[in-house]
Chains A and B, each alone.
Chain A
Amino acid sequence: MPVLCSSCSEKRAVLKRPKTGHSLCKACFFWAFEEEVHRTIVAAKLFRPGETVGIAASGGKDSTVLAHVMKLLNERHGYGLELMLISVDEGITGYRDDSLETVKRNQQQYELPLKIVSYEELYGWTMDAIVKQVGLKNNCTFCGVFRRQALDRGAIMLKVDKICTGHNADDVAETVLMNILRGDIARLRRCTAISTASEGDGVVPRCKPLKYAYEKEIVLYAYFKKLDYFSTECIYSPNAYRGYARTFLKDLESIRPSSIMDIIHSGENLSVREGVKMPVQGTCSRCGYISSQALCKSCVLLEGLNRGLPKLGIGKHHRLHEKILSQQPLTEQEERKLKSVDF
């Protein structure tokens, strides 16, 4: 027995919204989804007319929906933004090269300029090569640190004012849970922020227009709109611990769909002790990128890779930074410690 749309009461409902419990038809769902993103953008004052905005595009569902909705809203509501796609090529055969094809198709479908920045070009290392040296256990650290900087560099090359990323409500909720499980209070407070202010030279402000959009709705939006997206998990991602948080979140959602929004709300209102020590921001003395240490994380990781000491950037070896900068040799013991890699 077909259920009628609770909004227009005319057409057949195609989904039950997890956020509100409403049953909506396709047209009413599209409208509701898009206008909610619009309201998020307006309420948080994410953009100003005339700005150039880079959309971080991975070819996956979230960034594909983001690019589609941003283009649509920019036209519908006259934001006056100039939109561009920025993609990072980590150099992962069989994963990234396929998803980049999706991004290239998106570029044509949406008629937006695209810039691809590759790890190889920026750092001289592809992820495939990094994995060969560091193994599967810590490779996500490299990828994550390098990606953040790569996006910033791509943004600067394109001269964009802001970057928007496809993080959705489920991602934010999952990150809240992860930070609690890891006891990371500083990140716990930051992770629900919808946008980051400019932290300094070389770092472009970022925002998450899909922060309040459920993953379920994003997937259904892409499905009903027949958007072209790529869906394979990164072949190097072992991330077991995040897997626990994700499973828990999905289980919570199945008991009470509003849980995702409830967790974000909790994160936004966390009343934890004031005065948590935050690192003082400075710049990397090698590359000039923002860094709380003498060397930024990417430069340390890169130094480790180039010297064949992959553990240099993993764990805490701050006191070695000075030595590296002044090109003093490391002791045998230090070398031994940094060489061992667990596979």
Chain B
Amino acid sequence: MCQVEEEYHEQLERVDTPSASKKCVKCKEELAAVVIRAGDAYCRKCFRESFIHKFRAMLGKTRVIFPGEKGVSQNAHKKLRFFPGIVYIDEGGALGQCKEMRQKTTSELCDMFRSTGFPFYILPLEQVLDLPGSVLTPSPLSDQPGSAYKAAVDLFLQRGDSSSDGKAEEQECVSLPAVQESHTWLLQQLIGSAQTLTAKQDLLNTLRQHLLVHTARTRGYSKLMQGDSCTRLAVKLLTSISLGRGAQLAQDTGFSDCRYGDVTVVRPMREYSAKEIAYYNHMFKVPSVVIPNLDTKMPDKASIQRLTQSFVTKLQADFHSTVNTIYRSVWTEVQHHCTAKTFNLISGLVSCSNIFKYLEIKQN
């Protein structure tokens, strides 16, 4: 049926790719090394600066993370005002990986995480089977008025340098506790009971999210940071729509998600494209480990998630504004002021993780 009560020429016109050997748009001196959006070509140095600035601006602007009592010095010129921790959920059991394979992956991750100096937790997805039902009940949110943020900043600045040597604290490391074979078998039964890959991926996401929230809660973190880029969020958004989950869209893909009450999920990487992150990791040698997922090497039509991903990727190649437009359509500024304990997570795909995913908060 012809449906043309609409126009969409302006934003959808194809953009020409800029030519090579262009000067950086920022310093106008160095030769450009990365094209972020059409027309925006940056040199290495400016790319790095803008990348880092964007992250800080995101946290500052949204005021969702409060300064903690102690600070960790991240860069010489800028202090990190919160304590991060890292969590990784090993899904090898759900994917049918052998013990040796899982151990090999986790030991690589362990080395990588240890080098950050932050506490980290590597947990098997099997633990989700032991979670209490209460994980689904949102705990009451300690509601802080808007001015609390400013007060916390002042407090932080007053105490400032005296207590900023946060590294004095012992690094807490939890690396893959032993998994009972019967648990792995149960998990596989559970995943196997979902008939389609679409349902399996959906189930796996839910299980992972529950374990993450539970871990944050029990370890005393109030924020859960996820590294989703805007590319991934655009895919997530369209997937959610296709799965009939429009009502949860804002929480699923917005900057912060307060559904769990005491633990807020934040997505500070949502202004970065997958390309920016990949370039940053590559150029500045951010260590990463590639771990296969349920849909790795699957054809496009294997699942709704997979199809959506390939659709968005192809459309983005033809129309450069696709990802931005999609994710801005539901750009919600849910700004809940939650407490200042935060937690970082590295979810399944560590391949696109980067140093910022390791920056996180833990209060005292």
Asked whether A and B interact, the reply is: yes
Which residues of A are at the interface with B, using a C-beta cutoff of 8 A? Answer: 58, 60, 62, 137-138, 140-141, 143-145, 147-148, 166-168, 171, 174-185, 187-188, 234, 237, 239, 241-242, 244, 248, 251-252, 254-256, 258-259, 261-263, 265-273, 314-315
Q: Find A180's partner among B1, B11, B329 (CB 8 Å cutoff).
A: B329
Bound Cα distance A18, B300 (Å): 21
By the criterion CB–CB under 8 Å, are B315 and A244 in contact? yes
By the criterion CB–CB under 8 Å, are B301 and A251 in contact? yes
Measured between beta carbons, the chain A residues less than 8 angstroms from B246 are 265-271
By the criterion CB–CB under 8 Å, are B8 and A241 in contact? yes
> Are A266 and B245 also in contact (CB < 8 A) when A148-B5, A252-B304 are?
yes
| B342 CB within 8 Å of chain A | no
| B333 CB within 8 Å of chain A | yes
By the criterion CB–CB under 8 Å, are B1 and A167 in contact? yes
> Are A259 and B242 also in contact (CB < 8 A) when A244-B315, A254-B301 are?
yes
Shortest beta-carbon distance from B333 to chain A in Å: 7
State which residues 164-182 of B face A: CB under 8 Å: none
By the criterion CB–CB under 8 Å, are B301 and A255 in contact? yes
Measured between beta carbons, the chain B residues less than 8 angstroms from A143 are 2, 4
Measured between beta carbons, the chain A residues less than 8 angstroms from B248 are 271
Shortest beta-carbon distance from A142 to chain B in Å: 9
> Are A175 and B3 also in contact (CB < 8 A) when A255-B303, A256-B196 are?
yes
By the criterion CB–CB under 8 Å, are A255 and B198 in contact? yes
Shortest beta-carbon distance from B117 to chain A in Å: 39
By the criterion CB–CB under 8 Å, are A182 and B8 in contact? yes
**Most central of A144, A181, A265 by chain B CB within 10 Å:** A181
Measured between beta carbons, the chain A residues less than 8 angstroms from B4 are 140-141, 143-144, 147, 239
By the criterion CB–CB under 8 Å, are B9 and A315 in contact? yes
Bound Cα distance A168, B4 (Å): 15
Bound Cα distance A315, B7 (Å): 9
| B243 CB within 8 Å of chain A | yes
Measured between beta carbons, the chain B residues less than 8 angstroms from A148 are 5
Please report whether the interface of chain A is mostly helix, strand, loop or mixed according to DSSP: helix
By the criterion CB–CB under 8 Å, are B250 and A262 in contact? no
Measured between beta carbons, the chain B residues less than 8 angstroms from A248 are 307-308, 311
Bound Cα distance A244, B237 (Å): 17
Shortest beta-carbon distance from B235 to chain A in Å: 12
Q: Find B237's partner among A145, A179, A180, A259 (CB 8 Å cutoff).
A: A180
Measured between beta carbons, the chain B residues less than 8 angstroms from A237 are 2
Report B39-54 CB contacts with A as 1/0, cut-off 8 Å.
0000000000000000
Minimal Cβ-Cβ distance residue in A for B248: A271
Measured between beta carbons, the chain B residues less than 8 angstroms from A184 are 6, 8, 329
Bound Cα distance A239, B307 (Å): 22
Q: Find A265's partner among B11, B238, B244, B326 (CB 8 Å cutoff).
A: B244
Please report whether the interface of chain B is mostly helix, strand, loop or mixed according to DSSP: helix
| B129 CB within 8 Å of chain A | no
By the criterion CB–CB under 8 Å, are B329 and A188 in contact? yes
Shortest beta-carbon distance from A167 to chain B in Å: 7
Minimal Cβ-Cβ distance residue in A for B331: A273
Shortest beta-carbon distance from A292 to chain B in Å: 14
Shortest beta-carbon distance from B294 to chain A in Å: 15
By the criterion CB–CB under 8 Å, are B307 and A252 in contact? yes
Interface residues on B, range: 35 or more
| B330 CB within 8 Å of chain A | yes
Which residues of B are at the interface with A, using a C-beta cutoff of 8 A? Answer: 1-12, 196, 198, 237-238, 240-251, 300-301, 303-304, 307-308, 311, 315, 319, 322, 325-326, 328-333
> Are A271 and B304 also in contact (CB < 8 A) when A182-B12, A314-B7 are?
no
> Are A141 and B304 also in contact (CB < 8 A) when A181-B315, A262-B242 are?
no
By the criterion CB–CB under 8 Å, are B1 and A60 in contact? yes
Measured between beta carbons, the chain A residues less than 8 angstroms from B12 are 182, 241
By the criterion CB–CB under 8 Å, are B9 and A256 in contact? no
Bound Cα distance A144, B9 (Å): 14
By the criterion CB–CB under 8 Å, are A315 and B10 in contact? yes
> Are A272 and B249 also in contact (CB < 8 A) when A181-B326, A188-B329, A256-B198 are?
yes
By the criterion CB–CB under 8 Å, are A252 and B244 in contact? no
The 9 lowest CB-CB distance pairs between A and B, nearest first, are A266-B246, A144-B4, A262-B244, A269-B247, A183-B325, A140-B4, A183-B329, A266-B241, A269-B246
Bound Cα distance A252, B303 (Å): 9
Measured between beta carbons, the chain A residues less than 8 angstroms from B315 are 181, 244
Minimal Cβ-Cβ distance residue in B for A138: B9
**Most central of A141, A183, A256, A258 by chain B CB within 10 Å:** A183
Q: Find A177's partner among B241, B249, B330, B333 (CB 8 Å cutoff).
A: B241
Q: List 9 A-B contacts (CB under 8 A).
A: A145-B5, A177-B241, A181-B326, A182-B329, A242-B3, A251-B300, A255-B196, A259-B242, A266-B242
Q: Find A262's partner among B196, B243, B330, B332 (CB 8 Å cutoff).
A: B243
Shortest beta-carbon distance from B228 to chain A in Å: 17
By the criterion CB–CB under 8 Å, are B2 and A234 in contact? yes
Bound Cα distance A254, B300 (Å): 12
By the criterion CB–CB under 8 Å, are A271 and B247 in contact? yes
Bound Cα distance A179, B242 (Å): 14
Minimal Cβ-Cβ distance residue in A for B302: A255
Minimal Cβ-Cβ distance residue in A for B300: A251
Measured between beta carbons, the chain A residues less than 8 angstroms from B251 are 271
Shortest beta-carbon distance from B239 to chain A in Å: 10
Bound Cα distance A28, B135 (Å): 46
Shortest beta-carbon distance from B115 to chain A in Å: 41
Minimal Cβ-Cβ distance residue in B for A146: B4
Measured between beta carbons, the chain B residues less than 8 angstroms from A176 are 241
Q: Find A314's partner among B9, B242, B307 (CB 8 Å cutoff).
A: B9
Bound Cα distance A171, B2 (Å): 9
Q: Find B241's partner among A62, A256, A263 (CB 8 Å cutoff).
A: A263
> Are A252 and B3 also in contact (CB < 8 A) when A181-B325, A182-B11, A271-B247 are?
no
By the criterion CB–CB under 8 Å, are A271 and B249 in contact? yes
Bound Cα distance A168, B3 (Å): 12
**Most central of B237, B247, B248, B333 by chain A CB within 10 Å:** B247
By the criterion CB–CB under 8 Å, are A263 and B244 in contact? yes
Minimal Cβ-Cβ distance residue in A for B196: A256
Shortest beta-carbon distance from B7 to chain A in Å: 5
Shortest beta-carbon distance from B15 to chain A in Å: 14
Minimal Cβ-Cβ distance residue in A for B8: A182
Measured between beta carbons, the chain B residues less than 8 angstroms from A261 are 244
**Most central of B238, B248, B303 by chain A CB within 10 Å:** B238
